[in-house]
A and B are shown apart, each in its own frame.
Chain A
Amino acid sequence: MKQNDQEKQREFDASVMLTWFVYERPNEPDKVSSQRQQAVPDQLPAQLQPQTLTDLPGRWRFRFSTENVIQSREAALSCPVFMADDEDEMVDDVLLSCVNCMRRRWLIDGFECRGLPQITIV
C-alpha cells in the first residue's frame, strides 16, 4: 500500500494542486520558517547546520482559510494521495476534503500538506 502511495506521488504532476496550495520554496521564508531558522543555534557543528536555504524542501501550504471547506473538498478531489484521517480528527462532514486528510499538518493559521511531492518551479 505504501509502495502504491509512493508510486502515485512520483507519477502525479503536483503542479495542478497550485490552484489550492502555495508551494513555498525555502528561499522565500514566511514568518513561520523564519522563526524556525532563528531557532537554529549558531554553535551547531558544521555538518548539522543547514547548507543553504535552497537545499531545504519546500512545503505545500493551503491557500485558503481552514473554514473554506469548498476549496478543501475540490483540492481533495484532484489529489491522488488523499488518506482519510481518524474520524475523530476530521473537521469536515464531507469525507473527501483536505482538512480530513491524515497528511495535513495544522499550522497556526492554516495547514500544510505533507503528502504532495516536491516540485521545481521555474
Chain B
Amino acid sequence: MTKTWLVCIDDTDEIGTKGTGEIAEEIMQLIVSQSSVRPQDNPALGNAIGVTRHQLYVHPDIPYTSHNSAMCFELKSDLSLLQLKDICIAHLLAESALAADPGLAIVDKATLSPVECQQLMAFGLDAKKQVKTKSDAYQMASAVGIDLSEHGGTGQGVIGAVAGIGLRLSGNDGRLKGQLSMGLSAQTPSLNLSVKQIKILSGLDAVMAVNAQVLDDQDVIHLSGKVKAVLSNHQFVLLVYQYSEPATGTFQWRNALKQHLKDY
C-alpha cells in the first residue's frame, strides 16, 4: 500500500565530509529506486526532488557538528516502515561522519491528526529559538507516532530530526536543496523569462517577491547566478526581489540573492 512518508535526518556531517543534504538526497533516491511507485516527473526539482533544509537554533548549549540544519523530504512509497528505516540506517551508517551524532525521524503523514501536526510545527518553531533536549524530542515523537532513532555519537541529531519534520509540515520554512536548472550556463549567464515560463520549466508553484507578493504569470524575471526555491505557504516558490537599474532607474525583478534566501 502506497503511503506518503516524511523522512528527516540531522547531525550527520563535520568539516570536510559529505553534507547532510547530500546524504538525505541519496537516501531519498535509494528509497525511490526500491519502491514500485515512481515520483511524478518534475523538471524543476531535478536532482533536488524536494529535500528541504531547515535552520535550527544556534546556541552555545547546542553541540552541532557543522551548521545545525536538518534535512527533510517527503515521498510516496509502497515500502513498509521497517524497509524504509533499514535503507535509511544503512546509508546513515555508511556515510555519516565519524564525529557526527545522527538522528533519523520517519512518519507516515496520513497518520498525523491536525492537532498532532500543530504540535509538531510548534516543536519545530521552538527548536529554531530555544534549546531542546533529546528527551523533548523522544516525548514529542512518541506522542505523535514518529519513528525516531539515533545512529552514532551522542544521538543529539534526534532533536533536529523531529524539528525538521515539524518545520516541513508548517509549509513555511526551509530552502529547497540544490539549484533549479533554468537554462543558465557559462554561455548564457543570465536570461529573462516570464513567471509562466519559469513555472513550466521548473515545476515550481509560484514566483514570490521577498515582501510575499505573488507575481503574475506575465511578469518578467531576470535570472542569473544560482536559482533556488524556498518553501512558502506549502508551495515551492522562486523568491525574487526588485532591482533598480542604476543607469535608467527602471525596475527589474531578479531572482533572490543568498542574503534574501538565508531568512528561509
Give residues in A with beta carbon < 8 Å to B: 2, 32-33, 35-36, 39, 67, 69, 83, 85-93, 102-103, 105-108, 114
Q: Are the C-beta atoms of B226 and A106 separated by less than 8 Å?
A: no
Known contacts: A69-B259, A106-B68, A108-B59. The answer to whether A88 contacts B16 by CB under 8 A is no
Q: Which residue of B lies closest to A100 (CB)?
A: B258
17 sample A-B contacts, Cβ–Cβ < 8 Å, listed by A number: A2-B16, A33-B60, A83-B15, A85-B66, A85-B67, A86-B19, A87-B226, A88-B21, A88-B177, A89-B53, A89-B69, A93-B226, A93-B258, A102-B15, A103-B15, A107-B60, A108-B58
Which residues of B6-26 have CB atoms within 8 Å of chain A's CB atoms?
A: 15-16, 19, 21-22
Q: CB < 8 Å: which of B61, B68, B178, B257 contacts A88?
A: B178
B46 interface hit (Cβ, 8 Å): no
User: Across the interface, which residues of A come within 8 angstroms of B60, CB to CB?
Assistant: 32-33, 35-36, 107-108
Number of interface residues of B (CB under 8 A): 25
User: Shortest Cβ distance from A46 into chain B, in angstroms?
Assistant: 24
Q: Are the C-beta atoms of B22 and A86 separated by less than 8 Å?
A: yes
Q: Are the C-beta atoms of A35 and B61 separated by less than 8 Å?
A: yes
Q: Which residue of A lies closest to B15 (CB)?
A: A102
Give Cα A48–Cα B60 distance, bound, in whole angstroms.
20
Q: Are the C-beta atoms of A106 and B67 separated by less than 8 Å?
A: yes
Q: Are the C-beta atoms of A92 and B258 separated by less than 8 Å?
A: yes
User: Across the interface, which residues of A come within 8 angstroms of B53, CB to CB?
Assistant: 88-89
User: Across the interface, which residues of A come within 8 angstroms of B261, CB to CB?
Assistant: 91
Interface of B: prevailing SS: loop
User: Shortest Cβ distance from A35 into chain B, in angstroms?
Assistant: 5
Known contacts: A107-B58, A108-B60. The answer to whether A89 contacts B19 by CB under 8 A is yes
User: Across the interface, which residues of B come within 8 angstroms of A106, CB to CB?
Assistant: 58, 67-68
User: Across the interface, which residues of A come within 8 angstroms of B16, CB to CB?
Assistant: 2, 83, 102
Residue in B16, B53, B60, B177 with the greatest tally of chain A CB atoms within 10 Å: B60
Q: Are the C-beta atoms of B19 and A93 separated by less than 8 Å?
A: no
User: Shortest Cβ distance from A52 into chain B, in angstroms?
Assistant: 20
* Contacts A33-B60, A85-B66, A106-B67 supplied; 16 other A-B pairs, CB < 8 Å: A2-B16, A32-B60, A36-B60, A67-B259, A69-B259, A88-B175, A88-B177, A90-B258, A91-B258, A91-B259, A92-B258, A93-B225, A93-B226, A102-B15, A102-B16, A102-B66
Q: Which residue of B lies closest to A101 (CB)?
A: B15
User: Across the interface, which residues of A come within 8 angstroms of B257, CB to CB?
Assistant: 93
User: Across the interface, which residues of A come within 8 angstroms of B61, CB to CB?
Assistant: 35, 39
Give Cα A45–Cα B226 distance, bound, in whole angstroms.
52
User: Across the interface, which residues of A come within 8 angstroms of B175, CB to CB?
Assistant: 88
User: Shortest Cβ distance from A45 into chain B, in angstroms?
Assistant: 20
Give Cα A87–Cα B59 distance, bound, in whole angstroms.
23
Give Cα A95–Cα B258 distance, bound, in whole angstroms.
11
User: Shortest Cβ distance from A100 into chain B, in angstroms?
Assistant: 8
Give Cα A92–Cα B225 distance, bound, in whole angstroms.
12
User: Shortest Cβ distance from A8 into chain B, in angstroms?
Assistant: 14
User: Across the interface, which residues of A come within 8 angstroms of B262, CB to CB?
Assistant: 91
Q: CB < 8 Å: which of A86, A103, A107 contacts B21?
A: A86
Which residues of B224-261 have CB atoms within 8 Å of chain A's CB atoms?
A: 225-226, 257-259, 261
